[in-house]
Chains A and B, each alone.
Chain A
């Protein structure tokens, strides 16, 4: 029996997940999307996902997002009961083109590369010990990242709160990514291929917001000037 429902609205296609197990849900969704007449109906749709009482983690969101992408659909927003994360598609501006491209990269780049529009995952809750947010794109946390929690993103990580867990921006190897937080006191901070551990001294609270990036081969932390 089908537990997933689809409803077309002006804002996009509302997909409501049922109460089935995660694996059943994913395989049922795949079957539904594959149906020949469904394909033309869904193609290119902007999906608003209703998760009900189910709490999805970053990996599950990625799995869904990838499945929708196969049918040219974009996962635009996620809503559920409680305090859900909301996924915003293509919120970021494309970065300006780099001034000079290293030779081997220049050769590898197709003549008209598609504009990179990294998706942004907005997490509107505190990420607690034992919880992990993994996302292909940038992550914004409105809340704290507590000790014992992990946030990993292929782009920037911004924490509008206290960052005290483990954070990896630019995972696995994008050294251009940055980490910003109102209070930046991670247990361990990684950017791309670089790694920094927390200073052992107990720093005073209420520092100005800070941002960490890689400069000249090491991670440096500086006040967040808003740039």
Chain B
């Protein structure tokens, strides 16, 4: 398979872009792919913290782009998975420190060495988002089942559709089956009906996400994490496997989804 740049974005902040990037990066590397997670959230970097690699940063993305460091010097190899690397963001710079052309050139260079380049986009639709989108071959939009998150995801999808890139795919994060049953949360069909793009995975609300992020051990590395298992399923779908959807979806709902996409 040709190497791919996958940008993970959302519009709204705090919905799980960084969580998804770290977990998908690990899950893909566990499956033998060479992966680099690229933190494009300049000024608010935290992918390194979630991956547990913060204390090893010497150079960052902006150092590479401004040629103070070679790419090789800035890439941090994961201590658990030798196939996994992190290219950290600069903490003390602005998003305007880099531009779209530089991002494309950087990713073209990374493509010669990696199977997957996962770009963790900043929130918003401004400069930082555009930098993260520019090199993407594929876009994953993270959404939570809240009206404001769906609204922002829709905005992002519209912006991606205005480029010549393929239609983005959707990760539905922080689903809470009990709230859906009580009608207190948008359900999967509500979200898909508005966004009308392909669903690549549903990740449940899971406190292991928070505890594991704090320890720099993403949930995919744990044995009994429902969210970790969900990210593994998404990684397998990215690798082209047909993976049935998880327990969150009742058969009736699946039928509705199938119907919906057949329109």
Complex Cα distance, B190 from A162, in Å, reads: 13
Bound state CA distance, A83 and B162, in angstroms? 9
> Among the listed stretches A3-11, A141-149, A216-224, which one makes contact with chain B, having 4 or more residues with CB under 8 Å of it?
A141-149
Contact string, B120-150, partner A, CB cutoff 8 A, digits 1/0? Answer: 0000010000000000000000000001000
Q: Are B154 and A129 in contact (CB under 8 A)?
A: yes
Q: Contact string, B149-171, partner A, CB cutoff 8 A, digits 1/0?
A: 00110110111011010000000
In the assembled complex, the CB of B159 is this many whole angstroms from the nearest CB of chain A, namely 8
Cβ distance A157 to chain B, nearest Cβ, rounded Å: 19
CB–CB A130/B194 < 8 A: no
B196: Cβ under 8 A from any A Cβ: yes
Q: Within the complex, which residue of A53, A81, A128, A162 is in contact with B158, where a contact is CB–CB below 8 Å?
A: A128
Residue of B nearest to A82 (CB): B164
Find out whether the CB atom of A81 lies under 8 angstroms from the CB atom of B164. yes
In contact, B194 and A147 (Cβ under 8 angstroms): yes
A32 at the interface (CB under 8 A from B): no
Q: List CB contacts (< 8 Å) of A176-196 with chain B.
A: none
Chain A interface (Cβ within 8 Å of chain B)? 53, 55, 81-83, 125-126, 128-131, 144, 146-148, 162, 164
10 interchain pairs, CB-CB under 8 A: A55-B162, A81-B164, A82-B161, A128-B155, A129-B154, A129-B155, A130-B158, A144-B196, A147-B147, A148-B154
In the bound complex, CA of A148 to CA of B194 (Å): 11
Interchain CB contact under 8 A, B196 and A126: yes
How far apart are A207's CB and chain B's nearest CB, in angstroms?
15
Find chain B residues with CB under 8 A from A129 CB. 151-152, 154-155, 158
Cβ–Cβ < 8 Å partners of A146 in chain B: 154, 194
* B147 / chain A contacts, CB cutoff of 8 Å: 147
Shortest distance in angstroms between A217's beta carbon and chain B's nearest beta carbon?
A: 33
User: Contacts A144-B196, A147-B194: A130 and B155 contacting too (C-beta < 8 A)?
Assistant: yes
Which residues of the partner chain A approach B125 to less than 8 Å between Cβ atoms?
130
Whether A53 contacts B194 by the Cβ 8 Å rule is no
User: What is the CB-to-nearest-CB distance from A148 to chain B, in angstroms, rounded to a whole number?
Assistant: 5
Cross-chain contact A125 with B151 (CB below 8 angstroms) = no
Once the chains are docked, how many angstroms separate the CA of A81 from the CA of B163? 9
Measured between beta carbons, the chain A residues less than 8 angstroms from B162 are 55, 82
Provide the residues of chain B in CB contact with A130, threshold 8 Å: 125, 154-155, 158-159
CB pair A128 B164 closer than 8 Å: no
Nearest CB to that of B147 among chain A residues?
A147
User: Which residues on B sit within 8 Å (CB–CB) of A128?
Assistant: 154-155, 157-158, 161
| A55 proximity list for chain B (CB < 8 A) | 162
Known: A128-B157, A129-B151. 5 other contacts (CB 8 A): A82-B164, A129-B154, A130-B154, A131-B158, A147-B151
